[in-house]
Amino acid sequence: MPKQIHEIKDFLLTARRKDARSVRIKRAKGAVKFKVRCSRYLYTLCVHDADKANKLKQSLPPGPCSTAPPMTPPHPSAAAPFVRFACLPVDCVCPGGIR
């Protein structure tokens, strides 16, 4: 269930909570959205000023929970190839005796 936060101070307190898992930053033409995923809600803060957005990004808590996705998505061909079969060790006994 999403919730919108209107104050920067409230957003920073929410981002520092114990149950906050990740912070995502979405950039649009007129605004920057900061989204923090907590255990129950996804909280969103919309900032229309680029300077405030940069300051807020710097003041987010450090660590693996702060993420900023790249501006462009990666090319689909850059993904790892799909492996259909895995190699079995020589001494592996499969059910039914089939290797």
Ranges of beta strands (E only) in the chain are 2-5, 22-27, 32-37, 42-47
Contact 37, 19 (CB under 8 A): no
- Residue among 4, 12, 3, 6 at smallest CA distance from 61: 12
Of the CATH numbers 3.40.50.300, 3.40.50.1370, 3.30.720.90, 3.20.20.70, which one belongs to the domain with range 3-59? Answer: 3.30.720.90
Q: Which residue has the higher pLDDT, 10 or 84?
A: 10
Reply yes or no on whether the pLDDT at 31 is more than 70.
yes
| Six token digits for residue 33 | 């959205």
Residue 40 amino acid letter: R
Give mean pLDDT, residues 56-76. 66
Give mean pLDDT, residues 22-48. 94
